[in-house]
Amino acid sequence: AVYKQRVDKEPIKIWDRNRNPKTLFINYYDTMFFAPSGKTLDDVGALVGVKKLKIDAPYSIERMDEYLEGDKSNFEAYAIRDAEISCLHMARVIQFCKTLNLKSVPYTIGGIATRSFIQSLGDTDRYRELFAYEKITKVIWPEQKANPLTITRNIANRASKLSKDFAADCYHGARNESFFTGPTNTGTWYDYDAPSCYPVVLASIRKLDYLKTVISYNVEDYFGDVFGIAWVRFSFRPGTRFPSLPVRTSSDMLCYPLNGESYCTAAEIEVAARQGATIEIIYGNIIPWLDDDCFFTPFMGWAREQRNALEEGCFEERLLKEIANTIYGKVAQAVRPKSGFDLQVGFNKEMPPSLITHAHYAAHTTGGARALMSEMLNAIPEKYNVISVTTDGFLTDAPLDEIDLTGPICTRFRELYHKIEPDGGEILKEKHRVKQLLSMKTRGQATLIPADGYKPVLAKAGVKTPKGTTDQNAYIVDLYFNRTAESKVDSSHLTSTREQFLQQKDLMMETKQSRLNLEPDLKRKLLPPQLTTFNDIEHIASGSVPYNSVEEMEFERVCFARWRLQRCLKHRTIGITG
């Protein structure tokens, strides 16, 4: 039954009015994959200059059948306008690809980024050399063909494959942690960001000389501008605020304990050693750079120049920004196995690597970004507090001029940043400022008291605010203080590709509610809480310290997950075992 529904690759044959046969080759595009991250059809309409229509009460997008029956003319106008926006959007993408001299239109922004980058390398042989591919050819003779066919493929060369799996083990995501839960004290809180973090670290990459790989057990060999990956055993001194070596948990989450074993990169080893950690290299590789050709740098510089020549916020400028930010994602695509639904065959398949997937480069890039954040966090004087760190930025009450940005990782990052952005300024920039924060969990912060002239800090921890909410920050704050163990939030989503295919369903909004979870995620051990008051509502506030080990963290998380089935962590009188 599944195979009967598969999307056939064969061309479509039709006949014209004179009964002459014609063959159509059709490519299907989902224009959602050309929209900048987080943007809706409303936003795309603004980009292409056509405003999306609204549905007037009592009708709603959730019940389009009622809209069709009750107001057919406006229903049709709404549907046609949506199609018009999508069509104009696709036309702009096609034109944009022509300006990039691409021979065809890829299916996603990531595809455009990949093709553009490979094109910038000049020739196919250089691409193969930089990404450690070798060309193989195979001759086949299909039954229905008159002549044999020669197929050419790129496969990873033997030298890079020797350490590919080890590099994949050292590839992790960003450093994301919450160090505080509840309302903060009033004062001045800053939201800092390291600009262009991933593109800058990516720009440090050169070609690797895999055949000269050195097995090294000496910690100092991993210092400086080197490519290194290692399996280490470590121990930070008691009282260390921000340990800097990642440990992957059984639930595939990153934790930063005081003691443990880590698969990590050279930059992270350097940061940890300078913190005073005891590090034993169980096994490690140093792979020399073959030359000084930072081959990602010209592409990043080209994207910046193109953006600077355009009006900020216009369609092409937004696409170029997304392209520059997407390159890293394509380098890391499928480094760790991940599956997705395949429309052609009708079931889940492992996601294939991109044309520029490279485990070594992905590990080096993410490790460099984590090391940068760790060095910056540990440069904050003890007298100041840090609320959270998220990928390339953090929230703290430390003024910028009191954060020491002269460490070795910061220094190398600054040099690379100024190669891409000559007028970029300092490597840590203030994005927001508030007088009082509410910290809930990782990727969950809101503003209690704003600062004059600054936008509020808001990260919603995955909560979707109701349609028409004018003040999302106020909604999240109210939701947090008035939550109960039974609180639920909207988790409606578009019909999945799997359901569309297997059940022949239309793409619709599937209505769903899920249990609210704004409790701390316990990546760190909570300290004894203090009771605070905001708008006459009492709530606890608590700092945190690192766990001694990942095993200690996993045990407490299991206990807390069971405890919170019927409770919320709101009052000081309630403990995890209470």
The 3-class SS string of 483-508 reads CCCCCEEECCEECCHHHHHHHCCCCC
CA–CA separation, 287 and 282 (whole Å): 17
Which phi and psi angles does 400 have, rounded to 5°?
-60, -40
In angstroms, the first-to-last Cα distance of the chain is: 53
522 backbone φψ class: left, alpha, beta (φ>0; ψ -120 to 50):
left
In this structure, are strands 176-178 and 386-390 parallel, antiparallel, or unpaired?
A: antiparallel
Q: Which DSSP string do the residues of 422-465 spell out, in sequence order?
A: TT---SSEEEEEEEEEEEEETTEEEEEEEPTTSPPP-EETTPPP
Contacts of 430 (CB under 8 A, 6+ apart): 190, 191, 192, 193, 400
Rg of the chain over all Cα atoms, to the nearest angstrom = 27
Beta-carbon contacts of 355 under 8 Å, excluding residues fewer than 6 positions away, are 114, 115, 118, 330
Find tokens 């030359």 and name the residue: 291
Considering only CA atoms, which of 267, 268, 240, 189 is closest in space to residue 451?
189
The H-or-E segment that residue 153 falls in is strand 149-156
Residue bearing tokens 């297997």 = 502
Query: For position 506, what pLDDT does the model report?
Result: 81
Compute the 3-state secondary structure of the chain and give helix, strand, coil in percent, each to the nearest 5.
35, 25, 40
Q: Are strands 182-183 and 227-235 parallel, antiparallel or unpaired?
A: unpaired
Angle separating helix axes 315-332 and 41-48, nearest 10 degrees: 130
Rounded Cα distance, 367 and 244, in Å: 11
Report which secondary-structure segment, H or E, holds 238. Answer: none
Residue 35 tokens, joined:
């929209």
Alpha helices in 277-407 (DSSP H): 297-308, 315-332, 359-378
**Closest to 538 (Cα-Cα) out of 566, 578, 568:** 568
Global pTM value: 0.90
Tokens standing for residue 232: 């280490």
CA 331 to chain centre: 13
- Rounded CA separation 71/78 (Å): 11
- Residue 445: phi, psi to the nearest 5? -140, 150
Spans of the chain below 50 pLDDT: 574-578
Interatomic CA distance for residues 59 and 466, integer angstroms: 16
Task: Using CA atoms of 323, 327, 330, 336 in order, give the dihedral in degrees to the nearest 10.
Answer: -130
Q: Can you read off the two tokens belonging to residue 380?
A: 């904050």
SS3 7: coil
Residue with tokens 């889940």: 348
User: Cis omega before residue 58 (within 30°)?
Assistant: yes
Output the CA torsion 274→275→280→284 (10° steps).
-50
Are 514 and 545 spatial neighbours (Cβ–Cβ below 8 Å)?
Answer: no
CA distances from 248 to 177, 240, 404, 451 (A): 14, 20, 29, 38
DSSP 34: G
Interatomic CA distance for residues 380 and 374, integer angstroms: 10
Distances (CA, A) of 286 to 28, 230, 267: 45, 9, 12
* pLDDT for position 317: 86
User: Closest by alpha carbon to 407, among 281, 270, 524?
Assistant: 270
Amino acid in the structure at residue 170: C
Are 371 and 244 contacting, i.e. CB atoms less than 8 angstroms apart?
yes
Cα gap 491→496, rounded to integer Å: 14
Q: What φ, ψ does residue 181 adopt, rounded to 5°?
A: -130, 140
